[in-house]
Amino acid sequence: MSDPIIILTEEPLGADDRLNIEQLVDGSDSSLVVLVPANTERHLLVDFLENLSMLDVAKAFRELAGGTPDDATERAHADETLAASLAALAGLGSGVTGQVVAGKAVDSLVAKVKATGASQAVVITRPHAVADTFHTDWANKAQDQLGVPVLHLYAGSGFIGDS
């Protein structure tokens, strides 16, 4: 059996994401472990600036007015994201498992990679203009802490982030 591949995602994975992971697995018997953070650690000001930079002014002000969701809402969203992601990746490799993780997302990814002896890690996010520009995104943070490749993909596309 091949080393597992650890996937950290903040978005529910779909058909396009399955194709990307399928190409990564490429017929091997690697198991897949999906991690979904219970709290994505987003900051209201950074989110506002990112929405403005993506020219989504309405969303920027809507999220600013809405504030940050409570823990129960975030946990429910994480559970839904995990269920959708596991369903999207079903049948790939030698099996797909997953969990919602508490605490910092990157710390959870690093711990899981080390605990399982994973050969690679994948971070799947939506584009984050500010974090991606300044290389403070999850993939770059994980790459700084791990000695394995960290692939950064943008959810629902074939675009690769700059990590």
Q: How many domains does the chain have?
A: 1
Which tokens hold the place of 93?
Answer: 């490799």
The CATH number of residue 85's host domain is 3.40.50.620
Residues 53-96 pLDDT 10s:
666 767 666 666 665 666 787 888 889 999 999 999 999 988 99
What residue spans of 8-161 are helical by DSSP H?
A: 15-25, 44-53, 57-66, 71-89, 105-116, 129-133, 138-145
Residue 87 lies in a domain: yes
CA distance 91 to 8: 18
Query: Does this model's pTM top 0.85?
Result: no
pLDDT tens for residues 139-154?
888 988 997 778 989 8
Q: Please report whether residue 65 resides in a domain.
A: no
C-alpha dist (Å) from residue 151 to 60, 64, 85, 141: 28, 31, 17, 12
CA neighbor of 17 nearest in space, from 66, 85, 80: 85
Domain of 34 in residue numbering reads as 5-39+70-154
Strand order in the sheet with 32-37: 96-101, 32-37, 5-9, 120-125, 150-154
Is residue 159 in a domain? Answer: no
User: Residue 49: inside a domain, yes or no?
Assistant: no
Is 45 part of a structural domain of the chain? no
